[in-house]
A and B are shown apart, each in its own frame.
Chain A
Amino acid sequence: MNIDKKINNIPSLTWNWLKMNSSELKVNSELKEKSHFSISKIPHGVTFVEDAEKYMMSIAPVETGTGKEISAILFDNEIIPSALIVDEKTKVEEPVICDFSCKDKHYSYSSQIIYAKKDSEITVIMNFSSETKAHGLNIVQTKLYAEKNAKIHLITTQTLGKEFIHVNDIGTLGEENSKIEVSQIELGSKKAYVGVHSLLKEYQSKFVSNTAYYCRDDQELDMNYVVKHTGRKTDCNMKVAGALNGNSKKTYRGTIDFKNGCQGATGDEQEETLLLSPSVVNNSIPVILCDEEDVAGEHGATIGRMSEDILFYMKSRGINKESAQRVLCQAKINRVASKIPDENTKKMISKYMDEVLYE
C-alpha cells in the first residue's frame, strides 16, 4: 500500500514557483500496524482507554495540521484511537509519559486523544525514538480537547533514526477560558512532517506553541501551523526556533487566522532560524489572515548566521567559532527542553544533542 499525498497544505495559497503551498508525502510501505508504546503510571483521576472508538464522534470536528489526508489514511486502515480522559477538576501533577520506540522496518500508525474535562489539568509527554540506522515510517495523529477552564500541555520529542519518516499530526480545540500548550523538539528522522491546527473556539481560550529543531546532513523538516480564532479575546503565541546544518532543508508555514467575530483576539508568531552551512535550504511563510477589526496580530522572522557581536563576545572568552555554534544550537533546543517536567526525557535529549553535536 503506497502513500502519495499532499499534506501540510497552507490555508492561503501563493505563487506555485515557491513550492511552499504543500508538501509531498510519498512512501512505499508494505506493512501496516498500530504503534506500540509504553505508558507511564496512569495518575488518579485519569482514565486510559485503549480502544476509544466511542470518543471518535465527539472528537471528529477537531481538525489537524497536516490536513485531511492523514485522517483519511487512518480511517482507511481502521485505526482506532486510544484516549487519555481527565476527570473534571482533576489537576494532574506528574506528567503522563508515552514512549514510542519504533522498530526497524516497521511502518506504524497511531491515533491518540487527550480529553481534559472542565477545570482539569494534565501534561502528556510523547517520545518518538528508534535505533540510529533504523528504516521505517511512523504516522501519529493526536487530538487535544480542552473543556471549559481546562489545561493541556502536550510535549513531543522526536529522535528517530536517519532513515525514518515521521508524521506528527496534531489538532486542538479549546473551550472557554482553556489553555492548550504544545511543545515540540524535532531532532531526528530523514523527513519529519509536523502539522498543528488549533481552534480557539470560545471566549478567552489560549494556545501556546514552542518548537525547537536541529537539522543536519540530508534531513528535511516540514511544518504547518494553523491557528483559527473564532472566540472573543482568544490569544495565541507561537515560537519556532532552530538551526540548519549540512544539506538540510526546512519549511515553516505559520498561519494566524482571525475570523469575523473574534473581537479582542491577539496573536503573535515568531520564527528564528540559524543557518550553519552554505548548502541549507530555508523556506518560511508566516501568514496572518484577518476578517475582524478589533484584533492585534504580529509576526516576525529572523533568518541568518550567528551575529558578529555574539561571535566576538564568545571569542573574547576563549570560545572558537565551532564551539560557539554548538553552544547556540544547544541553546535553541534547551529553550524548550529545559521546561520538560521529566528528568529522563530531559536527559535523553541532552545525551542525543551531545552525540549529534560532537559526532
Chain B
Amino acid sequence: MADTEKTQINDIDHSMYDFRYEETEDFYRIKSGLTPEIVETLSKEKGDPEWMKEFRLNSLKIYNELKVPEWGPSIEGLDIENIATYVRPNTKMQAKWEDVPEDIKDTFEKLGIPEAERTSLAGVGAQYDSELVYHNVQDEVAKQGVVYMGFEEALKSEQWGPMVKEYFMTLVTPKDHKFAALHGAVWSGGSFVYVPKGVHLSFPLQSYFRLNAKGAGQYEHTLIIVDEDADLHFIEGCSAPKYNVANMHAGCVELFVKKNAHLRYSTIENWSKNMYNLNTKRAKVEEGGKIEWVSGSFGSHVSYLYPESDLVGKNAHAEFTGITFAGNGQNLDTGAKMVHRAPDTTSLITTKSISKGGGISTYRSAVYIDKNSKGAKASVSCQSLMLDSESRSDTIPAMTVLTDDADVGHEAKIGRISSEAIFYLMSRGIPEDEARSMIVSGFANPVSKELPLEYAVEMNNLIRLEMKGTL
C-alpha cells in the first residue's frame, strides 16, 4: 500500500489521552476466535522459527485446558473468542523519527515521546497495535553493547535468537495461568533488552504501548536480561483511548537480574477505562542482585496485576512501590508477590491505594518464604484511602513462612482523609477541593518520588484530574 491517508483525530472528553484514530484500510486483522489454524497463520506471517511455532501451538492447547480463576474481579464483559489478535499498521520499522508517518507520529507526539527523547532518554520502542512501529537506539547505547530491539527482530536475529530461545517464557510459563497460555500462543511485538556484564546505563530506557483498533488485544512480550554487575532503569508507560467494545491486554514481562546486577522497572499504567488489563510480570533475581518495581495503576476497567519477584540467589533483594487509583467503573486488583528461595534474601512492599466514585480497589499480595531462605526478611506496608462510600477497598495479603530463621512484618491501614488535615489546610486558605487533592497527592508521594520527573508530574496530574472527576 502506498501513502498513509491522513486520518481524523477524534477528541473524546477532556483528557489528553482520550483520542483515537478511525480505522482505515491501513489496518487489517486476522479472523477473530482462536483456532490452531489462526495461530499457525500468525506464526507464518511473523516468520517465526519452527520452535516458536510449536511453542505457540502448545500454548494454545494449554490455554484451552486451563480455567479462568474463581477469585478476583469478573471478566464476564470480555468476549475472548472474538478479539482480533493481530492488527498491523501500514509501516515498516523505522530507524529515524522523521520517517514515521504523520498520523502515527502525532499520536506519540501527544504522548510526549519526542520531548522524552530530547531529554536524554536512550531510545524509544513504540508499539502501535501489536506491532512495533518505531525503534531508535541511540549510538551511545549501541556502543556500550546494550542491545535494545524489537522482540520479533531479536527472535529472528542470528546473534540474539539463541538467547531469546533460552529465556523466552521460562519465567512466566504458559502453564502458569490461562492468560499466560494465551500470551504464549498469540504474543506479538514487544522489546528485547540485553545489558552486558558491568555496563551501567546512565539514563532510562523507555517504551510505550498503545491499543487502537476495536476489539484488538495486545500481547507484547518484554524480555530484559541484565547481566552480572550491570545496571538498568527501564520505563514502561502506556495509554489507550476509549471504545465501546471490550479491549484486552495480556502482555508478559520477564526480567532476569543476574549476579550483583541492578534493575529498576517503572510503569505508569493508564489504559483507557474499558480495558481488561491481564498483564503478567515476573523477575528472577540471582545472588546479590536487586530489582525495584515502581508502579502507578490508574486506568483500565479491570486489572489483574501482581508483579512477582523470585529471589533465587543468596542476598537477592526486591522492592515494590506502587499506587492504585480506582475510580468510577473500575475494578483494579493489584499487588505484588515476593518469593524467597535462597538465604538472606530481602523484600519490601509499599503500596498505596485510593478508591473513589464507586471504584473498587483490591490489594492482593503473597510473601512466600521457603525452607531454604534462612535469614530472609520481608516487610509489607499497605495503606488504603477511601474517598467516599460508593467505593470499595479490600486488602488481602498472604504470608507463608516455611523456616524459623525469617522475619516477616506486615501492616495495613484503611481509612478516609482526616478531617483535621482538611481543616488545617483550609485554615491556610486552601479551598476544600484543593486540600483533598493535595492530601491525596501527598498520600501518593512515596511512589511519585521514585518515578522520573515527567512521570511524577504525569501522575500528579492524573490524580488531580481523577479528584476533579474529569477522567
Do any beta carbons of A and B sit within 8 angstroms of each other in the complex? yes
Asked if B414 and A288 make an inter-chain contact with CB atoms under 8 angstroms apart, the answer reads yes
Least CB separation from A245: chain B residue = B404
Asked if A275 and B406 make an inter-chain contact with CB atoms under 8 angstroms apart, the answer reads yes
Asked if B406 and A279 make an inter-chain contact with CB atoms under 8 angstroms apart, the answer reads no
Asked if A288 and B395 make an inter-chain contact with CB atoms under 8 angstroms apart, the answer reads yes
Least CB separation from A13: chain B residue = B71
Q: Which residues 399-436 of B have a CB within 8 angstroms of A?
A: 399-416
Q: With A13-B71, A286-B412, A298-B413 in contact, is A278–B395 under 8 Å at CB? A: no
- Say whether B371 faces chain A, with CB atoms less than 8 Å apart: yes
Asked if A300 and B411 make an inter-chain contact with CB atoms under 8 angstroms apart, the answer reads yes
Asked if A293 and B410 make an inter-chain contact with CB atoms under 8 angstroms apart, the answer reads no
What residues of B have a CB within 8 angstroms of the CB of A21 in the complex?
71
- Say whether B386 faces chain A, with CB atoms less than 8 Å apart: yes
Q: With A13-B70, A278-B405 in contact, is A297–B414 under 8 Å at CB? A: yes
Asked if B409 and A293 make an inter-chain contact with CB atoms under 8 angstroms apart, the answer reads no
Asked if A290 and B386 make an inter-chain contact with CB atoms under 8 angstroms apart, the answer reads yes
Nearest-neighbour CB distance to chain B for A12, whole angstroms, equals 5
Docked pose: A285 CA to B397 CA in angstroms:
6
Asked if A286 and B408 make an inter-chain contact with CB atoms under 8 angstroms apart, the answer reads no
Q: With A289-B394, A290-B386 in contact, is A281–B404 under 8 Å at CB? A: no
Docked pose: A12 CA to B396 CA in angstroms:
8
Least CB separation from B391: chain A residue = A293
Docked pose: A21 CA to B393 CA in angstroms:
20
Docked pose: A287 CA to B399 CA in angstroms:
12
- Say whether B438 faces chain A, with CB atoms less than 8 Å apart: no
What residues of A have a CB within 8 angstroms of the CB of B409 in the complex?
300-304
What residues of A have a CB within 8 angstroms of the CB of B388 in the complex?
293
Asked if A302 and B408 make an inter-chain contact with CB atoms under 8 angstroms apart, the answer reads yes
What residues of B have a CB within 8 angstroms of the CB of A304 in the complex?
406-409
What residues of A have a CB within 8 angstroms of the CB of B135 in the complex?
none
Asked if A295 and B406 make an inter-chain contact with CB atoms under 8 angstroms apart, the answer reads no
Docked pose: A77 CA to B218 CA in angstroms:
56
Least CB separation from A300: chain B residue = B411
Q: With A18-B366, A294-B389, A299-B411 in contact, is A275–B395 under 8 Å at CB? A: no
Asked if A293 and B389 make an inter-chain contact with CB atoms under 8 angstroms apart, the answer reads yes
Asked if B402 and A12 make an inter-chain contact with CB atoms under 8 angstroms apart, the answer reads no
- Say whether B392 faces chain A, with CB atoms less than 8 Å apart: yes
- Say whether A280 faces chain B, with CB atoms less than 8 Å apart: yes
Asked if A275 and B404 make an inter-chain contact with CB atoms under 8 angstroms apart, the answer reads yes
What residues of B have a CB within 8 angstroms of the CB of A288 in the complex?
384, 394-395, 412, 414
Give the A-B contact count at a CB cut-off of 8 A.
140
- Say whether A283 faces chain B, with CB atoms less than 8 Å apart: yes
Docked pose: A282 CA to B371 CA in angstroms:
11
Q: With A278-B371, A290-B386, A293-B388 in contact, is A285–B398 under 8 Å at CB? A: yes
B393, B400, B405: the one within 8 Å of A290 (CB): B393
- Say whether A160 faces chain B, with CB atoms less than 8 Å apart: no
Docked pose: A293 CA to B339 CA in angstroms:
33
What residues of A have a CB within 8 angstroms of the CB of B197 in the complex?
none
- Say whether A284 faces chain B, with CB atoms less than 8 Å apart: yes
- Say whether B364 faces chain A, with CB atoms less than 8 Å apart: yes
What residues of A have a CB within 8 angstroms of the CB of B285 in the complex?
none
Asked if B396 and A14 make an inter-chain contact with CB atoms under 8 angstroms apart, the answer reads yes
Q: With A20-B398, A278-B405, A301-B409 in contact, is A296–B71 under 8 Å at CB? A: no
Asked if A292 and B402 make an inter-chain contact with CB atoms under 8 angstroms apart, the answer reads no
Q: With A296-B415, A303-B408 in contact, is A14–B403 under 8 Å at CB? A: no
- Say whether A75 faces chain B, with CB atoms less than 8 Å apart: no
- Say whether B349 faces chain A, with CB atoms less than 8 Å apart: no
Docked pose: A296 CA to B392 CA in angstroms:
14
B374, B389, B397, B400: the one within 8 Å of A282 (CB): B400
What residues of B have a CB within 8 angstroms of the CB of A292 in the complex?
386, 389
- Say whether A358 faces chain B, with CB atoms less than 8 Å apart: no
- Say whether B232 faces chain A, with CB atoms less than 8 Å apart: no
Asked if A282 and B405 make an inter-chain contact with CB atoms under 8 angstroms apart, the answer reads no
Q: Max chain B CB contacts within 10 Å: which of A15, A286, A289? A: A15
- Say whether A305 faces chain B, with CB atoms less than 8 Å apart: yes
Docked pose: A307 CA to B408 CA in angstroms:
12
Q: Max chain B CB contacts within 10 Å: which of A244, A277, A290, A291? A: A290
Docked pose: A286 CA to B414 CA in angstroms:
13
- Say whether B84 faces chain A, with CB atoms less than 8 Å apart: no
Asked if B71 and A14 make an inter-chain contact with CB atoms under 8 angstroms apart, the answer reads yes
- Say whether B467 faces chain A, with CB atoms less than 8 Å apart: no
Asked if A295 and B399 make an inter-chain contact with CB atoms under 8 angstroms apart, the answer reads no
- Say whether B149 faces chain A, with CB atoms less than 8 Å apart: no
- Say whether A260 faces chain B, with CB atoms less than 8 Å apart: yes
Asked if A283 and B398 make an inter-chain contact with CB atoms under 8 angstroms apart, the answer reads yes
Nearest-neighbour CB distance to chain B for A177, whole angstroms, equals 24
What residues of A have a CB within 8 angstroms of the CB of B374 in the complex?
278
Docked pose: A287 CA to B395 CA in angstroms:
6
Residues of A within 8 A of B (CB): 12-16, 18, 20-21, 244, 260, 275-305
- 29 A-B pairs with CB atoms under 8 Å apart are A13-B70, A18-B366, A20-B400, A244-B404, A275-B406, A276-B404, A279-B371, A282-B399, A282-B400, A284-B398, A287-B396, A287-B397, A288-B394, A288-B395, A288-B412, A290-B393, A291-B392, A295-B416, A296-B413, A296-B414, A296-B415, A297-B413, A299-B410, A301-B408, A301-B409, A302-B409, A302-B410, A304-B406, A305-B405
